Amino acid sequence: MIDPQEFIECLQSNDVDFFAGVPDSLLKELCACLDAVAPPGQHVITANEGGAIALALGYHLATQKIPLVYLQNSGLGNIINPLLSLADAEVYSVPMLLVIGWRGEPGIHDEPQHKKQGRVMLAMLEAMEIPYAILGPELEGSAATLACALATVRKASAPFALVIKKGTFQPFAGPGGARTGTFELSREEAIQLVLQALDDRDIVVATTGMASREVYEYRARKNQGHQQDFLTVGGMGHASHIALGLALKKPDRPVFCLDGDGALLMHMGGLAITGVLKPRNLKHIVLNNGAHDSVGGQPTVGLTVDIPGIARAAFYEQVSRAETRDQLRSCMTALKHSPGPGLLEIRVRRGARKDLGRPAGTPIQNKGSFMDFLSG
């Protein structure tokens, strides 16, 4: 296994000292280390992976140095355009090092949403003509691999990818990483209170990560069935547009989107589209803990920016914020009985139960029962 601090120090000794990206569970030890040791302004957690590529490009233009961009392989789709139309050797020829977590690696158990991405990832890099090397816990010579990667980046003045297998980085023992916060509500309790306030015909769209798992466990515990909920197990940042599509075509059914702060920030332009289209039946609930909680607890800017204010500026009809149980109950009553689009931000603590389960059914089964619910 690789010591993340030694890895970062090796990069810094080779004049690579600017880091940007979106956190990944396979890279959480590296991200925690960066959070602790990178100088101010030298590590930026971006809203999405494409933004990290653009930020790195700007950094290179200003400094002539090599930046590092990190991401989960699910973010490859977000970086294809800026990689091929800006950073590519045939366009602006920008040297940068990509560090990509390999979720869904063939032969390694993972969740359904990662299997196809993991299987085709290397082929995608090859199709984009991006050279790569693989680092893993069982592979020797990581320092030599990194040196070769940097030499290739400098010679070609173009991107190079390091593909990181599960378990590559040792646990980081220093400061940084997940923080709990002091809000009264946990995300799981907030979700339970929201679901308790809904009616049997209400449609629920839950964002990727812990939120969908907590919705699923609540339904299982109450023996309610799962047909009412669409679990957005992948595609971070897209739950709100899925909910918008449902709301536009099911105008007589209330649609509640359970979103996260990281997911909202990733594709925040969706707020503007929703606000202008004004679906009266769409209610957008943002569970804001200021963290990428599902992949290690790395911080977002969610608790710094004014999410209700942004929604108000995007022409949402009704916005509110809750931080306590009583506030949440009151806000849910108002949200349900007010014309949409409405947004409720619920500020919650970071963290989740260690024994939190995962959906037992497949995504195809979820889709089938959910569509039956919509037509019933």
Q: What pLDDT does 177 receive? A: 46
End-to-end Cα spacing for the chain: 53
The reply to whether 12 and 58 lie within a common domain is yes
Contact 352, 102 (CB under 8 A): no
The reply to whether 126 and 27 lie within a common domain is yes
Structure tokens at 195: 């679901």
The separation between CA 337 and the C-alpha centre of its own chain, rounded to angstroms, equals: 31
Average pLDDT rounded to a whole number, residues 200-216:
95
In a domain, 144, yes or no: yes
Q: What pLDDT does 174 receive? A: 77
The reply to whether 331 and 191 lie within a common domain is yes
Question: With bands split at pLDDT 50, 70 and 90, how would you rate the model's confidence at 176?
Answer: low
In a domain, 170, yes or no: no
Closest C-alpha among 74, 81, 82 to residue 54 = 82
**pLDDT, tens only, 39-95:** 999 999 999 999 999 999 999 999 999 999 999 999 999 999 999 999 999 999 999
Query: What residue spans of the chain are helical by DSSP H?
Result: 4-13, 28-37, 49-63, 76-82, 112-127, 142-156, 187-196, 210-222, 239-249, 261-266, 269-277, 307-313, 325-336, 363-375
Contact 318, 324 (CB under 8 A): no
Contact 333, 320 (CB under 8 A): no
The reply to whether 270 and 359 lie within a common domain is yes
The reply to whether 279 and 362 lie within a common domain is yes
Question: With bands split at pLDDT 50, 70 and 90, how would you rate the model's confidence at 139?
Answer: confident
**pLDDT, tens only, 93-111:** 999 999 999 999 999 999 9
In a domain, 89, yes or no: yes
In a domain, 282, yes or no: yes
In a domain, 178, yes or no: no
In a domain, 159, yes or no: yes
The reply to whether 195 and 307 lie within a common domain is yes
Beta bridge partners of 258: 206, 285
DSSP, collapsed to helix, strand or coil, labels residue 119 as: helix
Whole-angstrom Cα distance, residue 148 to residue 161?
Answer: 11
Q: Domain range holding 257?
A: 187-375
Beta bridge partners of 230: 205
Q: How many domains does the chain have?
A: 2
Checking if the pLDDT of 113 tops 60, the result is yes
The chain-wide mean pLDDT, for the chain, equals 95
In a domain, 179, yes or no: no
Percent of the residues in the chain that have a pLDDT greater than 90, as a whole number: 89
Q: What pLDDT does 143 receive? A: 87
Q: What pLDDT does 178 receive? A: 46
Checking if the pLDDT of 36 tops 60, the result is yes
Closest C-alpha among 41, 30, 35, 40 to residue 5 = 30
Checking if the pLDDT of 211 tops 90, the result is yes
The reply to whether 123 and 244 lie within a common domain is no
Number of H helices, E strands in the chain: 14, 14
Question: With bands split at pLDDT 50, 70 and 90, how would you rate the model's confidence at 175?
Answer: low
Cα pseudo-dihedral 139, 141, 145, 146, rounded to 10: 110
Whole-angstrom Cα distance, residue 296 to residue 292?
Answer: 7
Average pLDDT rounded to a whole number, residues 6-20:
95
How many C-beta atoms lie closer than 10 Å to residue 201's C-beta?
Answer: 12
Q: Return the DSSP state at 237.
A: T
Q: What pLDDT does 181 receive? A: 62
Q: Pick 335 or 226 by higher pLDDT.
A: 335
The DSSP-derived string for 31-54 is HHHHHHHSPTTSEEE-SSHHHHHH
Question: With bands split at pLDDT 50, 70 and 90, how would you rate the model's confidence at 179?
Answer: low
In a domain, 344, yes or no: yes
Average pLDDT rounded to a whole number, residues 362-368:
95
**pLDDT, tens only, 237-287:** 999 999 999 999 999 999 999 999 999 999 999 999 999 999 999 999 999
Q: What pLDDT does 142 receive? A: 84
